[in-house]
Amino acid sequence: MSSLNQSKTLKNLQEAFAGESQANRTYLAFAKKAEQDGHLQVAKLFRAAAEAETVHAHAHLRAMEGVKSTADNLKSAIDGETHEFVSMYPKMITEATSEGFDQALRSFTFANAVEKVHANLYQNALDNLGNNRDTDYYVCQVCGNTLEGEPHEACEVCGAAKVAFKKID
């Protein structure tokens, strides 16, 4: 076995990980739609397949050595989030603005704002690793804004009411 770096297999694992990850989120969205339409059995099937795609995605990620120590994982998460709000989303926001795609613009703008929040939460967690206090997280179901501790006001990112926040177990 040669080294994974620069192998075709590493590229294949990355491609398969991206595909399985996307299938997972797509199927969950399809399940929600099937549920709204009253196709409860189809919704269940989509959720079952979504679960299986997660098993595949995680196995691919582990095979490409993408899961390290928690400190390293936090650093990797901070790098990913930072890349998104420093370069990826700003460019996408500019392009959606100039092309006039309002829904995409709104979606990119919300994600961009929330990736900054995530980078900060991860940085704090890394700084306090081993002494992280026990707090609950709440996620805005409109924009993804992520709070440490209970929401006390409307969402700062999208303006949704407090009830839009879902507690994460």
Size of site (CB under 5 A) for Fe ion:
11
Residue 122 burial (C-beta neighbours within 10 Å; 0-12, 13-18, 19+)? buried
Residue of 50, 143, 147, 151 that binds Fe ion (CB under 5 A): 143
The rounded distance, in Å, linking the Cα atoms of 30 and 43 is 7
Q: Does 140 bind Fe ion (CB under 5 A)?
A: yes
Least CB distance from residue 83 to Fe ion, whole Å? 11
Which window, 25-33, 88-96, 101-109, 133-141, contacts Fe ion (CB under 5 A)? 133-141
Pairing state of beta strands 146-148 and 165-168? unpaired
Q: Tokens 């997280």 label which residue?
A: 137
Residue 118 touching Fe ion (CB under 5 A): yes
Burial of 19 per CB tally in 10 Å (0-12, 13-18, 19+): middle
Token pair listed for 161: 């009411």
Stretch that binds Fe ion, among 39-47, 52-60, 93-101, 140-148 (CB under 5 A): 140-148
Task: Note whether 154 binds Fe ion by CB under 5 A.
Answer: no
Interface residues toward Fe ion, by CB under 5 A: 81, 115, 118, 140, 142-143, 145, 155, 157-158, 160
